[in-house]
Amino acid sequence: MPNIELKNITKTFTSINEATKGEIITAVDKVSLKIKKHSYNTLLGPSGCGKTTLLRLISGLENPTEGQVFFDRKDVTNMTTQERDIGFVFQNYSLFPHMDIWHNVTYGPVVRNRFNDETEKYIHSILKMVKLDERARAYPSELSGGMKQRVAVARAIATKSPLMLLDEPLGALDVRIGTALRYDLMTLVKKYKLTAIHVTHNQEEAMTISDNIIMMKRGKVIQSGSPKEIYDNPNSIFSAYFLGRCNFFRCEMIDKNTANFQGAIITLPKNFPEKKVVLGVRGEKIHINSKPKKNNIQGKIEFINFLGEKWQYIIRLSDGTEISALKRVPHEAKIGQKISISFYPDNILLFNEPRDFEKEKSV
């Protein structure tokens, strides 16, 4: 346990909201997915795309309308959460307020009849790992948010369940504590050889923590792969935008490997068969020429933002398109200055022009 496999999973709800009463909501839409043993996976996508529902379907807290869930080729679709043996970490900690940390963490092994001398040692070692061994007698109300979430993580690991499901575990924490806890989670999952599925809508969190990112949009899995695979080869405008905020240029094709963007002739990395094409270029791949070149794309510097390790140049093109260029060292161009931009063919991603570009990019 567990290689996890989802086969054609769909989950629909019937709306009880006054305005939409009786309407069918498809929260998860024909999802098929494989999750490798001992890997750290994130479900990444915008609010309402079905991440929590998919996690609950894996856990058995929710039953699919259609499809099957397999753990190591065994069909667990009709098994309860207890039978599936899962450690669950919720966004809002869900600790027992009347129990101290020790009893919160030992609760799982006690109810599963797994508590013995060895478990006691094991739990001491987990509390040490999450830096709470000296606070074992404290109550949840005496702890900060970051500490409470570490207790919740320790509690999930203490169950000795090989599968840990985490729903936005870092969402309620301040950025600094959340970032530190990311590394703790990665370390714990590797140390105890767990398989983790972690829900987030934070792309930076997903990129740092994951072996595998599962990108979701409107109930569907759009793409899955390592952070680098998805960043370098996004399969859609949505993936390119959601992971790494790609820039887009909507062009007319001139011939099979050149396109026209507002009069600038752009050579493509390979032939493209359609009449229209959307070019995707990452911010760090955009060159700014402070003396505008005639055959380049023309624009104007609108804002310059200092982001610590890099500078962001917000450029407005004449058709209103906003471009974000990222530089490790500040560029000489100033706010309000007319500039031109260019990029190498090898740094261009190619996409079909969608029916509704803005909708494609967003949720």
Identify the H or E element spanning 101: helix 101-111
Q: Contact region for Mg ion (CB under 5 A) — 7-15, 50-58, 189-197, 226-234? A: 50-58
- Can you give the binding site for ligand ATP, defined by CB under 6 A? 13, 25, 27, 45, 47-53, 201
Pair 256, 272: CB distance under 8 Å: yes
Contact criterion met (CB below 8 Å) for 87 and 108: yes
Sign of the CA dihedral with 147 first, then 149, 155, and 161 last: negative
User: Least distance in Å: CB of 223 to ligand ATP?
Assistant: 16
Comparison of 45 and 225: residue with beta carbon closer to ligand ATP: 45
Comparison of 48 and 354: residue with beta carbon closer to ligand ATP = 48
Whichever of 221 and 281 has its CB closer to Mg ion, that residue is 221
Q: In the bound complex, what is the minimum distance in angstroms from residue 166's beta carbon to Mg ion?
A: 11
**Of 49 and 277, which CB lies nearer to ligand ATP in the complex structure?**
49
Question: For residue 303, what is the enclosing H or E element?
Answer: strand 297-306
Cβ–Cβ contacts within 10 Å for residue 138, how many?
15
Which of 361, 353, 356 lies closest to 279 in space, CA to CA? 353
Q: Which does 247 bind (CB under 5 to 8 A by kind): ligand ATP, Mg ion, none?
A: none
**Residue 298: exposure state from Cβ atoms within 10 A (0-12, 13-18, ≥19):** middle
Q: Indicate the angle between helix axes 175-191 and 145-158, nearest 10 degrees.
A: 10
Binding partner of residue 53 among Mg ion, ligand ATP, none, CB under 5 to 8 Å per kind?
ligand ATP
Residue closer to ligand ATP, measured from CB, 123 or 222: 222
| Residue 112, helix vs strand vs coil | coil
Which has the closest alpha carbon to 67: 6, 134, 128, 149? 6
Contact pick of 52, 106, 149, 296 for Mg ion (by CB under 5 A):
52
The least CB distance from residue 179 to Mg ion, in Å, is: 21
The nearest distance, CB 113 to ligand ATP, in angstroms, is: 32
Contact of residue 136 among Mg ion, ligand ATP, none (CB under 5-8 Å per partner type): none
Peptide bond into 234 cis (omega under 30): no
- Binding partner of 27, given ligand ATP, Mg ion, none, CB within 5-8 angstroms per partner class: ligand ATP
Q: How far is the CB of 24 from Mg ion (least distance, A)?
A: 20
The H or E element that residue 179 is part of is helix 175-191
Binding partner of residue 201 among Mg ion, ligand ATP, none, CB cut-off 5 to 8 Å per kind: ligand ATP
Give the tokens for residue 161: 């369940």
Closer by beta carbon to ligand ATP, 25 or else 180: 25
Q: In this structure, which amino acid lies at residue 90?
A: F
> 49 contacts which partner out of ligand ATP, Mg ion, none, CB within 5 to 8 A by kind?
ligand ATP
CA distance 32 to 9: 6
Gap between the Cα atoms of 27 and 10, Å rounded? 8
Residue 52 vs 212, nearer CB to Mg ion: 52
Contact 257, 270 (CB under 8 A): yes
The residue (of 47 and 141) whose beta carbon lies closer to ligand ATP is 47
299 binds, among ligand ATP, Mg ion, none (CB under 5 to 8 A by kind): none
Report the residue number, 51 or 198, with the smaller CB distance to ligand ATP.
51
Task: Tell the smallest beta-carbon distance from residue 245 to Mg ion (Å).
Answer: 22
Interacting partner of 186 out of Mg ion, ligand ATP, none (Cβ under 5 to 8 A depending on kind): none
Do residues 196 and 189 touch, judged by C-beta distance below 8 A? yes
Decide which of ligand ATP, Mg ion, none touches 25; Cβ closer than 5 to 8 Å per partner kind.
ligand ATP
Segment lying near Mg ion (by CB under 5 A), choices 1-9, 52-60, 73-81, 82-90: 52-60
**Interaxial angle between packed helices 101-111 and 145-158, expressed in degrees from 0 to 180 and rounded to the nearest 10:** 20
Q: Return residues touching Mg ion (CB under 5 A).
A: 52
